[in-house]
Copies of this chain bind each other. A is one copy, B any other.
Amino acid sequence: MIQPVENGARLELNSPIKLPNASAFLWNRKMMVHMNCRGYTVAQFMQPEPSKYAHAPNLEAKTFMQPEQPYYAHHPGRFFYIKDEESKELFSAPYAPIKKPLDSYIFSAGKSDILWKIEHDGLYIEMRLSLPSNEALEQWSFTIKNNTPITRKISIYPYFPVGYMSWMNQSGEYNENLNAIVCSSITPYQKYKEYDRIKTLKDKTYLLADTVPTSWEVNQAAFEGEGGLHNPTGIAGIELLKGDARYETPACVLQYRLELEPEQEKTYRFLFGPAKDETEIADIGKRYFNDTAENGASGFDTVKQEYDNYISKGKGCLQIKTPDPALDNFVNHWLPRQIYYHGETNRLSTDPQTRNYLQDNMGTGYIQKEVARQAYITALSQQEENGAMPDGILIHEDAVLKYINQVPHTDHCVWLPVCLKAYLDETNDYGLLQEIVPFANTKKTATVAEHISLAMLWLYTTRDERGLNFIEQGDWCDPMNMVGPKGKGVSGWLSMGTAYALKTWAGICRNNNTIALAEEFSKKAAELNSAINTHLWDGNWYARGITDDNVVFGVKKDPEGRIFLNTQGWALLSGCADEEKSKKIIAAVQNELETPYGVEMLAPSFTKMRKDVGRVTQKHPGSAENGAVYNHAATFYIFGLYTTGHTEKAYEVLRKMIPGQDETDLVQRGQLPVFIPNYYRGAYRQFPRTAGRSSQLFNTGAAPWFYRCLIDGLFGLRGDIDGLHINPQLPKEWDRVEVLRQFRGATYKVNIQREAGISKTIVAVNGQILESPVITNIEKGIFDVDVRIPKV
């Protein structure tokens, strides 16, 4: 059903039915396109907030990205109808809206384009979407070839619905001078002051064509008629009626009538996107369709090449060859791409949540070190003088805190040292700690190191008399909003987070030669761990917290939400769990939370409101934070397992994060292995029918942590102040892996092999055996690294 091609750089799906919501995504610095295998599309561009240029058929709510979005006949999409003018046979590419069975079908997700290859009734079609690297528009090419021995008379109708643009003003018409359909609107507003904002918006949507069409239709209702989208009335005629839309829902429909000789093919190119005015559209048409480069390439092709180059910059620092080709494929191609996407777009937000911003940039540190470096400085420049971090980081001058960032959460400081550690390990850029950075709303400044120490003291201070961290209206778990609104409730996870952050910061301070600070923070971390063990150990696992009314929750006597994953994963990280407790934790997680699709965030999922826990209990059981396989939380657990040497379990859980262990698994998840989704449905023991289903949302903190698990854990090729530490934690079935590791300018060709008779890891660089498994004195160059690990 799926097949990697081009050495894994593309992934092909051969059915439009078996994974109906399977999708791929493209982005650039201005936009994002989430493309479903049937042609349904969600596309957004930034101006500066996310905006759409193709809309639902009704007035759609503006919201953050939602999981498991359903598609329906009139959902925005990019479709081509093909009519045989002699037989009147009609079908649509890539599949919707007609949904006629095709003779062959391939949906091919590439890193810098999305391609369909379709054959039906002797006509072979390739349709390809790509983006420019720094402009909000879609580049489409559509090629049709006659694979029959007779001449074919056909009509092709690109159908790009534009939807309900605005209740104030929407219209559309074909513009002969531009050879484009131009749909116009005014963003709805009511308040006088808003005019200054809306007047700058790109409120037009255009479909620019390289070839003059036979006819067109801009009126969606006229095109669809009584026939419906599966059989549009407009197509029944010899030509479209050249209608316009006047305060009517517009659509971009063109018709190309053509004759194809046997073996003949014909290509059409289109540009679809938002614009401010006709002048901008004319300029785009000129640059893509009229201009040619010195090498003779069209603007269209030059921009496509630039985009390929842009995407290829997101390679990451790891290329692997293991006994698991599906893992290799995902890690070599798709995972660094997803991390790169997060760093480049900040999830299409102007106010990313502080914890997301820091963790996304933890990933960016493996790909674009300068971008990550600047992100730490940007984040810290918005810190309060008392050490508190804001709920979101404003990264655009017009940005304000929106949605969940208007709810106070107490965990944001945790991520500073935790993420920075990965950056420092990778870069050794301890100079960053001495950079002078301001605070928010004041003229005061401090070094990065001082900023983070303040953050650590803020976390240390905002604890109750038991020594546990207050949760207020949420911690990492956004919707856990009723544990602590009265100012008493505490978070078990956050207490562990504080301990781990303090411990991590102590380590950085030690590396930074501020030993007194290191000792102080280590001691504080130990205090936290002690308080955690006193108040939160439930016999077989750690409780999740204690409510305002002093009720410990996430414990065995709770009928729902009995165990939470985060207080187990982070117990491994913070060090509060000794070996015995660790063993019990891992057993409990296995019994209560593991599923074929990964490890759930809590169980049993809440089926009704628990008022002293909050909104998380009102989400649908098994969705999102209410007991999904929430991959971000799962990666914490995996990282904890690797950190504490639980190698086999770590890999077992990690591997379940990639969809497609077999076809049944693939169908159940419904997603291609081209990204990690934010969740798979959980509540496996309560609602098995839906368990495993992907959210299809590719914004997730799981991606950078997955990568860190690979580097620090599975392949054990982690940097530190003294060099590259080599400590592979391969699953026991693996005898050998090859890793290409880019590190501080050096390229290490690492060959890891099991060897009988040795009891510890032996490392040789260019044939020279090292005394300890650390490569020091890192230099530019290419090095062969031979790693032997004990046979098990």
Contacts and interface: CB of A to CB of B under 8 A. Distances in A.
A228 B226 contact: no
Interface in A596-627: 609, 614-615, 618-623
A192 B407 contact: yes
Interface in A176-214: 186, 189-192, 195, 199
A63 B56 contact: no
Interface string A357-371: 000000000000000
B192 A485 contact: yes
Given A168-B620, A473-B192, A689 B246 contact: yes
Interface string A110-134: 0000000000000000000000000
Contact of A192 (B164, B481, B620): B481
Given A66-B59, A66-B167, A247-B690, A73 B403 contact: no
Contacts of A226: 17, 99
Contacts of A618: 168-169, 186
A228 B229 CA distance: 10
A562 B60 CA distance: 35
Contacts of A681: 247
Nearest to A187: B618
Contacts of A479: 190
A482 interface: yes
Contacts of A68: 247-248
A246 B620 contact: yes
A535 interface: no
Interface string A237-258: 0000000001111000000000
A431 interface: no
A584 interface: no
Contact of A167 (B63, B230, B404): B63
A74 interface: yes
Interface in A70-91: 70, 72-75
Interface in A139-198: 164, 167-171, 186, 189-192, 195
A355 to B, nearest CB: 16
A762 B450 CA distance: 99
A156 to B, nearest CB: 22
A476 B428 CA distance: 68
Given A72-B73, A73-B72, A620-B168, A60 B57 contact: no
Contacts of A310: none
A406 interface: yes
Contact of A620 (B69, B170, B220, B623): B170
A293 interface: no
A61 interface: yes
A226 to B, nearest CB: 6
Nearest to A623: B247
Contacts of A190: 403-404, 406-407, 479, 615
A414 B60 CA distance: 37
A434 interface: no
A531 interface: no
B74 A72 contact: yes
Given A192-B407, A407-B190, A249 B70 contact: yes
A47 interface: no
A444 interface: no
A166 B99 CA distance: 28
A164 B164 CA distance: 18
Given A17-B226, A690-B247, A406 B191 contact: yes
A62 interface: yes
Contacts of A61: 59-62
A45 B69 CA distance: 26
Contacts of A75: 57-58
A46 interface: no
A36 to B, nearest CB: 14
A473 B171 CA distance: 27
Contact of A230 (B67, B168, B228): B228
A734 interface: no
B221 A70 contact: yes
A227 to B, nearest CB: 8
Interface string A695-717: 00000000000000000000000
Contacts of A220: 70
Interface of A: 17, 56-63, 66-70, 72-75, 99, 164, 167-171, 186, 189-192, 195, 199, 220-221, 226, 228-230, 246-249, 403-404, 406-407, 473, 479, 481-482, 485, 609, 614-615, 618-623, 681, 687, 689-690
12 contacts: A58-B58, A59-B60, A59-B63, A60-B60, A63-B167, A73-B74, A99-B228, A168-B618, A192-B481, A192-B615, A246-B621, A246-B690
Given A57-B70, A58-B69, 12 more contacts: A70-B248, A72-B73, A73-B228, A169-B620, A186-B619, A190-B479, A190-B615, A192-B481, A246-B690, A247-B620, A247-B690, A248-B690
